[in-house]
Chain A
Amino acid sequence: MYYIDPHIHMVSRTTDDYETLAKMGCVAVSEPAFWAGYDRGSVDGFRDYFEQLTSFEPKRAGAYGIQHYTWLCINAKEAENVALAREVIALIPEFLDRPGVLGIGEIGLNKNTRNEAIVFLEHVDLAMKTDEQILIHTPHLEDKYQGTRMILDMLCDDSRISRERVLIDHVEEHTVRHVLEEGFWAGMTLYPVSKCTPARAANMVEMYGPDRLLVNSAGDWGPSKPTAVPDFILEMRRRGHPESLIRRVVCENPLAFFGQSRGFVFQPPDAAERVEI
């Protein structure tokens, strides 16, 4: 079975990780723009980052047969500098028509502040004006519930938004229902300590069904496991779930969500075999 990791920060990972992902069946990754671990000092820092995301990473991934897609934004952790955030938001349209760009993301909240909410809304406005899909980060730990509810409030206030074109990531047991009930896609992030485990993700699939649910590793520069999606696949198999259900979550759902973006051109690895058939 091949799979897609819909949220992983490969700029923080080694080329060896690309090789490992390919060996484990990963055929495509989607990489949202995120916090580098420090606040960038200028809009030019973001220009260089967007260049890396749209030119270098696709080549590095392609060397291992992995198709690389990306999302652009300034992360919520840097949104307290509203002036810089506005410069970055003004820069983003220069990159939106590059191959592999799927939309605006990962935008969201971090500490649920007013400035974060303002910058979030301005990103959403850009996405609506440019007809882009949106990928959303939700806060960590004790801030997640309030932050997710605030994000849902802001999204549901905007009648321009097509909810099936928005993915809200890092859902856990207390937020997944709210996201799905409002008609958005939900992503479960498999992180060693602070987010979700493969077993808990499998529980949520059992409780809510596979519709509009995705699983990702969110592998980055911190403690994280880029091969977490195969861990989820193994957990689902251990529980006796059919391959069709697993494939739905780790492959068909990402294809369905990304397929709504004009920047998504996917080449199935078995395309040649299908033609012969």
Chain B
Amino acid sequence: MQPVAVFDQEFLPLRAKLLEIAAALDRFDRSDVLGGREPRAAKIRVAIEALLASGGDRAEQLQLVFSRPYEEDWRERMQMTNIE
């Protein structure tokens, strides 16, 4: 598909999604959630900033913002090293 056609296809849906996000953030502001102690608010900020990055993996990066980190030593922590 031609680049312009891709843009034509995505522009209006993307515009609508961005407006949804803007409206949700406005609602947060009215309830002062972003300025308060809600820990998820910080993740929202980081996620929005990630949208402005480049590299073609924004969706993956956003998923990681909202994920618990992988702990490589989970077997030791769970005492599962001897379980066959």
Contact = CB atoms under 8 A, between A and B. Distances in A.
Interface of A: 112-114, 117-118, 121, 141-146, 149-150, 153, 172-175, 177, 200, 203, 238-240
A143 to B, nearest CB: 6
Given A172-B63, A203-B59, A239-B1, A146 B70 contact: yes
Interface string B68-83: 1111001100111001
B68 A173 contact: no
B11 interface: no
Interface in B48-77: 57, 59-60, 62-64, 66-71, 74-75
Nearest to A175: B63
B63 A238 contact: no
A238 B9 contact: yes
Task: Determine chain B's interface SS by DSSP, over half rule.
Answer: loop
Contacts of A238: 9
What is the interface of chain A mostly: helix, strand, loop, or mixed? helix
Contacts of B68: 142-143, 145-146
- 8 nearest A-B residue pairs (beta carbon): A174-B63, A145-B67, A173-B59, A173-B60, A114-B78, A149-B70, A240-B1, A146-B68
A144 B75 CA distance: 17
B59 A200 contact: yes
A174 B57 CA distance: 9
A159 to B, nearest CB: 12
A240 B5 CA distance: 10
Given A118-B83, A173-B60, A203-B59, A141 B78 contact: no
A145 B67 CA distance: 6
B75 A153 contact: yes
Contact of B63 (A114, A173, A239, A240): A173
A142 B64 CA distance: 8
Contacts of B80: 114, 117-118
A117 B78 contact: yes
Contacts of A174: 60, 63-64, 67
A173 B74 CA distance: 23
Nearest to A239: B1
27 contacts: A112-B74, A114-B78, A114-B80, A117-B80, A118-B83, A121-B83, A143-B68, A144-B67, A145-B64, A145-B67, A145-B68, A145-B69, A146-B70, A146-B74, A149-B70, A150-B74, A153-B74, A172-B63, A174-B63, A174-B64, A175-B63, A177-B60, A200-B59, A238-B9, A239-B1, A239-B9, A240-B5
A172 B66 CA distance: 12
A145 B70 contact: yes
